[in-house]
Copies of this chain bind each other. A is one copy, B any other.
Amino acid sequence: MARRSHGDRRKTILRVAGRLFSQQGYYGTSIRDIAAAIRLHGGSLYAHITSKEELLWEIVDEAAQAFLSSLEPIVRSERSPLEKLRLAVAAHLQVVTERQDAAVVFNHEWKALSPRRRADILARRDAYEALFRQILQEGVEAGIFRADLNVPLITRFILTALNSVAVWYRPKGPLSPEQIAEAFTDWAVRGLRRCDPSEAP
């Protein structure tokens, strides 16, 4: 058995590429930057990867899967719209904080993909947003959320606010992902619900 399997090395490269793409952007990161970060020469990377764009694709594709697969079961479940929303926020923040670099790259660097792959990612971004929107829509239709909400607009506001956590979150910071989720939900949900008398002073 090898101390390091082929896949280990590849995962290291993906991890480092994700970190650098997230910090400096795709075009701001050279193959030699990635190689230097693991003490290799530029050309040596090509024993493990086929192209720079392939690296970006793998990072972005995996992030898309992570987001979608964490939200789908929540939307499909039989819970109330309000509980679905709480769970969706928590799930989104879990992906964002556990795969922080990938989340940043997924949100900001997909434009650098080839047209075909860019379209693929865009479609999955849209699908994810549609799932989230569906939760809000169900809440409105169930009479739990206010009828005058601009659901697509508020959905965007919620998702971009949540995504921004990927930029500033630090695992050693004062707030855990769960605390962030709670603070966000407490604020955001209060703006969605028809008035809850228990909130009165």
Q: A residues engaging B (CB < 8 A)?
A: 23-28, 108, 111-112, 148-150, 153-154, 156-158, 160-161, 163-164, 168, 175, 180, 183-184, 186-192, 194-197, 199-201
Contacts and interface: CB of A to CB of B under 8 A. Distances in A.
Contact of A195 (B161, B164, B192, B201): B201
Which A-B residue pairs are the 10 nearest by beta carbons? A27-B27, A160-B164, A191-B191, A195-B200, A190-B191, A157-B161, A187-B191, A161-B161, A195-B199, A27-B28
Given A161-B161, A195-B201, A200-B197, A156 B168 contact: yes
Contact of A154 (B175, B187, B194): B187
One complex includes copies of this chain to the number of 2
A175 B190 CA distance: 24
Contacts of A158: 161
B28 A112 contact: yes
A194 B199 CA distance: 7
A200 to B, nearest CB: 4
- Among A111, A180, A187, A200, max chain B CB count under 10 A is at A187
A188 B187 CA distance: 8
